[in-house]
Amino acid sequence: MTPADSKAIPQRSDIEDKYKWNLTELYENDAKWEEDYKRAQEMLGKAKGFAGRLADSPEILFDCLKLRSDVSLICDNLHFYAKRNADLDHRVSKYQSMTDRAAMLISQAGAAFSFVEPELLQIDDKRLKEMAQEFPKKDLYDFYIKELIRSRAHIRSAEIEELLAQSILVARGPSNVFTMLNDADMKYPSIKDEDGNEVRITKQRYAKFMESPVQRVRRDAHVALFSSYKEHINTIGASLSASINNDVFYSRARRYESSLHQALDAINVPVEVYHSLLDTTEKNLEGLHKWIELRRKILKLDKIYPYDLVCPLFPEENYEVSYEDAVKEVTQAVESLGENYTSNLKRAFDSNWVDVYETEGKASGAYSSSNYSTHPVVLMNYNDTIDNMFTLAHEMGHCMHSFYSNKNQPYPKAQYTIFVAEVASTLNEGLLLQHLLKKVTDDKKKLFLLNQHIDNTFGTYFNQVMYARFELMIHEEVERGGALSPDMLNEIWHELTRKYYGPALSMDDYIQYKWARIPHFYYTYYVYQYSTSYAASQAILDKFLKGEEGIIERYLQLLSSGGSDYPISQLETCGVDMTTAKPFEATIKLFEDQVNEVERLAL
């Protein structure tokens, strides 16, 4: 069964197996998971045998680092299996409990090996480098040693490091509370769809209703969703405030100037990149303001509201896309990346790497999750929209990035940064758009696809810059000694919405609550990377379109480099310099040109 025509939310048992993950590839059953859990606990007991001995010889240091990597890999597997199963149905408490146990084990592992960095930092830089050169395998921990030396100033004593490691489990509390409220406990009212049918709102159905050509449906869905967040605004405000306080605590514990400095220093990105992104964009909002007004004119609305910002402007050219058709289009779109990439993408689609449809209790949205021992997986809540087809392309970009990274890097260097990850995902979206544009035979189709790309830039670049400004403002408020209240969060969001979207947008009573539904605010300074990555991917896409010699090989080299270098350097491999404003200015200029083209063709 596929749920495309069903008004009721399907149960997992209603979905055909070919549309579902097969997590037994990692653990045949829960009993095998328990065996690995016990094995990891036993391995942790060996950690203390290395304490105080790391400077004795390169062999002892290598063995300690290898043991930590081996434990980490098992912990990753345990958490992956439990969390993925939990995400398939948050009503099943067993897997939530297993997820919590895996998280606790990860915290225990961090505490067990917390002596490593403080002990290594008692060794001078020259000796550390010499020891690394004498490791039995020199390519496993070379980047780790380099990064350790760079971050020397922020590593604390062994006692403090142990306490910080043990505190991680407690620090997950705000995010866990929000996730359970947002995905499991919160219920939304019903509205009447375009045909007068009573339909209960879910987050996925809300997304589809936002694309409705009927403004009444969009408004009703908007009110239904955000009235539910309004009812829980005090709880959500408290959870977000606690999360921000966590960020500030850890930045101060590690002697950083601010939580922003800590977040960006983790991947060696200068804070100037963050400020350049925000400042450059905010100096160039005229094109975005023009787009909002142009939307109002094309939609023939007296006033344009927040729920009118993503519906297709040319609905007569819109069409539903089945999952099978989306797979076909995405596969064809990435053929320019070569046979190797395309064949591996087909393998992912054909081998249950994607859990496709929304079911009762399933985690909302979409994501890709990497597993070094088996393969990456993608969670979708596919609902036959063009937007979901682009989401599929996006998540498969992440998936293939993980696949190539895991294939070409040893486990300690396989995990790439989010800064680079979003390049792979948004480049796939760009390739899909170009693939679809090649099929255009008339201006109406071109308008529809230009609308799609403008909306992508609107959502992935401009919206995320606004979110990044919001995140910076609330962190700075706490760092100044202030407290975050729901009223303050509402006011900040309201004013930023007015600033970014401009005078053409009519504000309603519910837009101020939008911050409350965004889970990324619980991942410290995460959202800016969508914007920086989007700008980088547009620069790389331009190189593809111009046929720049060697760009395919350099791009695949980027995907295969994993976490073996810093992201700014990795992007330089493809000729993109993110320390300048040029990628941001070029992205904004392209957006403005496309807005002008839509205006020329549509009015």
Residue 1 lies in a domain: no
Are 126 and 167 contained in the same domain? yes
Domain stops at, among 121, 144, 171: 171
What average pLDDT does this structure show over 183-188? Answer: 90
Cα-based angle 180, 181, 184 (whole degrees, multiple of 5): 60
**Interatomic CA distance for residues 591 and 457, integer angstroms:** 7
For position 132, which CATH number holds?
1.20.140.70
Domain stops at, among 395, 410, 437: 437
pLDDT of residue 75 exceeding 70, the answer is yes
Are 16 and 132 contained in the same domain? yes
Going along 300-456, which residue ranges are E strands?
A: 354-355, 367-369, 377-379
What average pLDDT does this structure show over 254-277? Answer: 96
Place of tokens 């109406």: 444
CB 283 within 8 A of CB 587: no
Domain stops at, among 397, 413, 437: 437
Are 447 and 385 contained in the same domain? no
**Interatomic CA distance for residues 451 and 526, integer angstroms:** 27
Q: What's the distance, Cα to Cα, between the start and end of the chain in Å? A: 44
Q: In the structure, what pLDDT confidence band is assigned to residue 445 with cuts at 50, 70 and 90?
A: confident
CB 30 within 8 A of CB 379: no
What average pLDDT does this structure show over 470-483? Answer: 98
Catalytic residue among 395, 422, 429, 471: 395
For position 193, which CATH number holds?
1.10.287.830
pTM, full prediction: 0.81
Residue 180 lies in a domain: no
Residue 182 lies in a domain: no
Q: How far is CA 10 from CA 5, 163, 460, 468, in A?
A: 11, 45, 30, 36
Domain tally, the chain? 4
Are 272 and 333 contained in the same domain? no
Are 595 and 454 contained in the same domain? yes
**How does strand 377-379 pair with strand 367-369?**
antiparallel
**Assigned token pair, 148:** 């350790």
Active site residue 293: no
The whole-number pLDDT of residue 437 equals 85
The whole-number pLDDT of residue 3 equals 55
Are 165 and 53 contained in the same domain? yes
Are 501 and 468 contained in the same domain? yes
For position 545, which CATH number holds?
1.10.1370.20
Domain coverage including residue 473: 233-318+443-602
Residue 430 lies in a domain: yes
The whole-number pLDDT of residue 587 equals 95
Residue 2 lies in a domain: no
For position 331, which CATH number holds?
1.10.10
What average pLDDT does this structure show over 427-442? Answer: 90
CB 320 within 8 A of CB 344: no
Are 16 and 164 contained in the same domain? yes
pLDDT of residue 6 exceeding 80, the answer is no
Residue 139 lies in a domain: yes
Residue 572 lies in a domain: yes
Are 456 and 558 contained in the same domain? yes
What are 381-413's pLDDT values in tens digits? 999 988 899 999 999 999 999 999 999 999 999
Are 545 and 499 contained in the same domain? yes
Average pLDDT, the chain: 94
Are 374 and 494 contained in the same domain? no
Q: In the structure, what pLDDT confidence band is assigned to residue 243 with cuts at 50, 70 and 90?
A: very high
Residue 7 lies in a domain: no
Are 225 and 246 contained in the same domain? no
